[in-house]
């Protein structure tokens, strides 16, 4: 059995602006200190795999290559969601000797990597029967920004639940059975190819063209522009789930800094020094600077050399709207 990691590093991390940019996205940043999120992802699975393939986009290729170490980096001609990236990445991994693939996002935080290793090892063993395996994170809150997984008693996936409204998320958490869909998958290459041919034949046909030597750029527009969840996982009849409790965070927006940076006076603050006077619940990122908080609560403040973001904590998901406005105004140098 030859297992390779397939790491998805094409996202921009729009809700992590202004620290995350097109040319230097969230996955290559050292969020929480130490190595970059991408480097940590590759390091966590090093003992489980014989090789690694990293899939990224043209804007961020240089930064991703810098953080990928010995992994093989491939560059999508254009972003078309996760299905094309995983399909092509699996083909490349197979050409490099893989018969089993672990698919991982590149920009997540894990505080207990040994628990992730144990779950992935279990998933690898289950995948050898031909099932497609997903890892489901044990939820810690009624999150509406994630998809959820309903497991069956036999370890199969009963159903995937799309990002739910708050009342539904509250009920899923209270029920104690459902798991978060974290976008981590394990499968045998041949099993995935068979599922792809069955559920996404257009993408399977493109892979055949690429395997015959046609240029990827010429084939790419014919790929299904959709996620692996919609195209394959939600339709397939043998999907298993392995529960995961590893201190996981998708670091999806600035409020996730609470899960990565230990809180201190005034809130979670990344800075050289801090002063906090009658302040609480703030999230501040201002590397190398003194930060003084006076009488302020529940703010997000992010300082970079060319941009400053200030917003209420409960508006953190709207950081991506700034990018849309900047692009519309021709200010792409800030994005």
Question: Domains of the chain, with CATH numbers?
Answer: 3-249 (3.90.550.10), 254-334 (no CATH)
pLDDT at residue number 162: 93
pLDDT at residue number 259: 85
**310: which strand partners?**
301
pLDDT at residue number 150: 98
pLDDT at residue number 1: 84
Specify whether the CB–CB gap between 11 and 26 falls below 8 A: yes
pLDDT at residue number 258: 85
Which pair of tokens denotes residue 5? 């990691």
pLDDT at residue number 233: 97
Q: pTM of the prediction?
A: 0.94
pLDDT at residue number 262: 79
Specify whether the CB–CB gap between 245 and 303 falls below 8 A: no
> How does pLDDT run along the chain (335 residues), one tens digit per residue?
899 999 999 998 899 999 999 999 999 999 888 899 999 999 999 999 999 999 999 999 999 999 999 999 999 999 999 999 999 999 999 999 999 999 999 999 999 999 999 999 999 999 999 999 999 999 999 999 899 999 999 999 999 999 999 999 999 999 999 999 999 999 999 999 999 999 999 999 999 999 999 999 999 999 999 999 999 999 999 999 999 999 999 998 898 888 888 788 988 889 999 999 999 999 999 999 999 999 999 999 999 999 999 999 999 989 999 999 999 999 999 99
The phi and psi torsions of 273 (rounded to 5 degrees) equal -145, 160
Say which residues have a Cβ less than 8 Å from residue 5's Cβ, sequence separation at least 6. 42, 45, 48, 49, 51, 52, 53, 71, 101, 102, 104
């Amino acid at each position: 059995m030859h297992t390779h990691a397939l790491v998805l590093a094409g996202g921009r991390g729009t809700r992590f602006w202004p620290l995350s940019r097109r040319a230097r996205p969230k996955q290559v940043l050292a969020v929480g200190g130490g190595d970059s999120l991408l480097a940590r992802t590759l390091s966590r699975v090093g003992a489980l795999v014989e090789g690694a393939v990293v899939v990224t986009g043209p804007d961020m290729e240089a930064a991703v290559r810098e953080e990928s170490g010995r992994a093989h980096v491939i560059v999508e001609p254009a972003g078309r969601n996760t299905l094309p990236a995983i399909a092509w990445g699996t083909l490349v991994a197979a050409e490099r000797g893989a018969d089993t693939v672990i698919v991982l996002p590149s920009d997540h935080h894990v505080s207990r990597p040994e628990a992730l290793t144990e779950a992935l090892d279990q998933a690898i063993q289950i995948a050898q029967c031909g099932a497609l395996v997903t890892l489901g994170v044990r939820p810690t809150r009624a999150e509406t920004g994630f998809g959820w997984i309903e497991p069956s008693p036999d370890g199969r996936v009963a159903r995937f639940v799309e990002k739910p409204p708050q009342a539904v998320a509250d009920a899923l958490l209270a029920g104690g059975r459902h798991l978060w869909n974290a976008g981590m998958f394990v499968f045998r290459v041949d099993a995935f190819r068979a599922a792809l041919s069955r559920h996404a034949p257009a993408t399977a046909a493109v892979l055949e063209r690429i395997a015959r030597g046609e240029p990827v750029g010429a084939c790419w527009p014919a790929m299904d522009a959709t996620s692996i969840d919609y195209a394959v996982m939600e339709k397939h009849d043998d999907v298993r789930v392995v529960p995961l409790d590893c201190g996981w965070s998708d670091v999806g927006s600035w409020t996730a800094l609470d899960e990565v940076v230990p809180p201190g006076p005034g809130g979670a603050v990344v800075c050289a020094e801090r002063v906090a006077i009658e302040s609480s619940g703030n999230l501040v990122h201002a590397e190398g600077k003194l930060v003084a908080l006076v009488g302020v609560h529940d703010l997000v403040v992010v300082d970079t050399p060319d941009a400053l973001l200030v917003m209420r904590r409960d508006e953190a998901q709207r950081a991506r709207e700034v990018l849309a406005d900047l692009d519309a105004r021709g200010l792409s140098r800030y994005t």
